[in-house]
């Protein structure tokens, strides 16, 4: 999000040099800089003890490719708590082990995605209404089902190679 007006007082912002940051939108009335903002989210490669990955179909994301589980962090929630919550909400499984893999800037949607490997026990999925379907996919077959080069593809590739 790029600020033009102050979200606190509504006045139009000016550009002001702020240290090493350069010219930043600034509210003269509130005397505060307003840096560009982005949404922080998680993306998880949910894996089980059989070296399988849970891949999801969400038609609002893609009608042809699978995706990894992902979700937006809530205010006051840690990234780790977000992964645990999202895995429970979207596919109905409990995370037993969690490992941070890498962060991924997603400029198209002004997001920062924090990538995790989430280990669960293989069970049947209990899907939320935002997930059309989910499948356990072997490591060998997973990359072909994801959009090549996507953040999910990069995350799964890292998990497989580790």
pLDDT tens digits, residue range 95-120?
999 999 999 999 888 999 999 999 99
Confidence check: pLDDT of 61 > 80: no
**Alpha-carbon span 46 to 96, nearest angstrom:** 11
Average pLDDT over residues 140-160: 96
**62 pLDDT higher than 80:** no
| Closest CA relative to residue 95, chosen from 149, 20, 42 | 42
pLDDT in tens, 30-56: 999 999 889 999 999 999 999 999 999
Global model pTM greater than 0.85: yes
Contact in structure between 94 and 134 (CB atoms under 8 Å): no
Q: For a pLDDT cut of 90, what percent of the chain falls above it?
A: 87
Q: Is the dihedral of CA 6, 38, 40, 69 positive or negative?
A: positive
What is d(CA 53, CA 66) in angstroms, rounded to the nearest whole number?
Answer: 11
């Amino acid at each position: 999000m790029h600020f033009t007006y102050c979200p606190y007082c509504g006045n139009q912002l000016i550009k002001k040099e702020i240290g090493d940051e350069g010219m930043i939108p600034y509210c003269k009335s509130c005397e505060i800089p307003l840096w560009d903002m982005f949404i922080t989210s998680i993306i998880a490669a949910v894996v089980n003890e059989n070296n399988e990955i849970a891949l999801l179909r969400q038609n609002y994301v893609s009608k042809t490719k699978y995706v990894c589980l992902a979700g937006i962090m809530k205010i006051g929630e840690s990234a780790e708590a977000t992964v645990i919550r999202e895995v429970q909400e979207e596919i109905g499984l409990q995370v037993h082990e969690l490992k941070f893999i890498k962060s991924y800037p997603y400029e198209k949607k002004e997001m920062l995605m924090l990538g995790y490997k989430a280990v669960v026990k293989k069970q049947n999925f209990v899907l939320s209404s935002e997930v059309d379907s989910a499948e356990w996919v072997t490591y060998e077959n997973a990359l072909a089902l994801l959009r090549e080069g996507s953040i999910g593809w990069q995350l799964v590739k890292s998990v497989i190679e580790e």
